[in-house]
């Protein structure tokens, strides 16, 4: 192609005395290129965001803690005084007794949920484009991935909300009576004003049920900490089901 034609503006091409049919065809090609380009850029944005998205986790505890009221943690209501050790990359020994693992709570739930909603709505809106067919399979795959992550975030938030409530009654489960929990627990003051051992003695069956759930939550959240990518955690076998079990058991204790 001559250099002059290679840089010729499209407007000049359309004004070059071409036949109406040719001009119409060129305009159709341009519209399709713009439409497909816009859809492709959005898919790249969604794919890139969730390929690297890492959930923010923080260990529940009383030492070196920060207040988290209004901090995006979906666990513990306003005024509950939920304490969390600052988020960090944790090297947790998975061979350790699960009762000694810290319980990791999900932070920044609102921000993650907003991004999930924004991307899900965008993928849904793509279906209205006349150029959607080319990208249907990838859009459907990304939508399923976002649904899994959304379900994970919702389930984790509900599980930790109920766990925090029960922790305020029974303490740190297996480590409640001796400052256990690997230094992340050892709470001695309960919301009811009664000591941990007194509450457990008064409600032994309930205390035993909570202890089992507490150990499960510690083990599962420790597994999540090794690689905090949201898509990876959402794909952990049985993880979502265990979050549901934790929520149900805490709700029935």
The percentage of the chain sitting over the pLDDT mark of 90, rounded to a whole number, equals 44
Q: What is the pLDDT of residue 177?
A: 36
Mean pLDDT, rounded, for 189-203: 58
Lowest mean pLDDT among 89-98, 101-110, 176-185, 225-234: 176-185
Q: Is residue 17 part of a domain?
A: no
Kindly indicate the confidence band of residue 249, based on its pLDDT and cuts at 50, 70 and 90. Answer: very high
pTM for the model: 0.70
Q: Is residue 5 part of a domain?
A: no
SS3 60: strand
Kindly indicate the confidence band of residue 230, based on its pLDDT and cuts at 50, 70 and 90. Answer: very high
Within a 10 A sphere around the Cβ of 15, how many other Cβ atoms? 10
Q: Is the pLDDT of residue 121 over 60?
A: yes
Cα three-residue angle 118-119-122, rounded to 5 degrees:
90
Contact 225, 104 (CB under 8 A): yes
Of 24 and 12, the structure prediction assigns the larger pLDDT to 24
CATH number for the domain including 222?
1.20.140.100
Q: Is residue 74 part of a domain?
A: yes
Q: Is residue 11 part of a domain?
A: no
Q: Which residues have C-beta within 8 Å of that of residue 138, sequence separation ≥ 6? A: 43
Give the Å distances, CA to CA, from 12 to 1, 27, 94: 16, 13, 67
Q: Is the pLDDT of residue 229 over 70?
A: yes
Q: Is residue 12 part of a domain?
A: no
Q: What is the pLDDT of residue 243?
A: 97
Residues 149, 245, 69, 186, Cα dihedral to 10°: -130
Provide the number of structural domains found in the chain.
1
Q: Is residue 183 part of a domain?
A: yes
Q: Is residue 202 part of a domain?
A: yes
Domain residue limits at 113: 44-252
Within a 10 A sphere around the Cβ of 31, how many other Cβ atoms? 12
Mean pLDDT of the chain: 76
The 10s digit of each residue's pLDDT in 55-112 is 999 988 633 333 333 333 333 333 333 333 334 445 555 555 556 778 889 998 899 9
Give the Å distances, CA to CA, from 185 to 79, 105, 167, 247: 19, 13, 10, 20
Q: Is residue 88 part of a domain?
A: yes
């Amino acid at each position: 192609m001559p250099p002059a034609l290679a840089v010729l503006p499209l407007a000049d091409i359309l004004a070059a005395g071409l036949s109406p049919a040719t001009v119409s065809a060129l305009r159709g090609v341009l519209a399709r290129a713009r439409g497909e380009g816009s859809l492709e850029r959005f898919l790249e944005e969604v794919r890139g965001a969730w390929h690297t998205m890492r959930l923010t986790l923080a260990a529940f505890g009383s030492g070196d803690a920060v207040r988290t009221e209004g901090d995006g943690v979906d666990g513990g209501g306003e005024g509950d005084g939920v304490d969390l050790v600052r988020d960090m990359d944790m090297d947790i020994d998975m061979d350790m007794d699960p009762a000694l693992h810290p319980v990791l709570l999900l932070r920044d739930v609102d921000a993650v949920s907003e991004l999930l909603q924004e991307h899900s709505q965008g993928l849904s809106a793509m279906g209205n484009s006349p150029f959607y067919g080319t990208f249907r399979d990838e859009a459907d795959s990304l939508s399923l991935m976002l649904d899994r992550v959304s379900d994970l975030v919702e389930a984790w938030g509900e599980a930790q909300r109920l766990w925090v409530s029960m922790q305020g009654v029974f303490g740190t489960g297996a480590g409640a009576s001796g400052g256990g929990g690997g230094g992340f627990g050892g709470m001695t003051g309960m919301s009811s004003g009664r000591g941990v051992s007194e509450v457990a003695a008064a409600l032994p069956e309930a205390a035993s049920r909570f202890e089992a759930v507490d150990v499960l939550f510690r083990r599962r959240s420790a597994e999540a900490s090794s690689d905090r990518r949201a898509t990876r955690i959402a794909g952990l076998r049985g993880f979502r089901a265990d979050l549901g079990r934790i929520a149900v058991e805490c709700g029935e204790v």
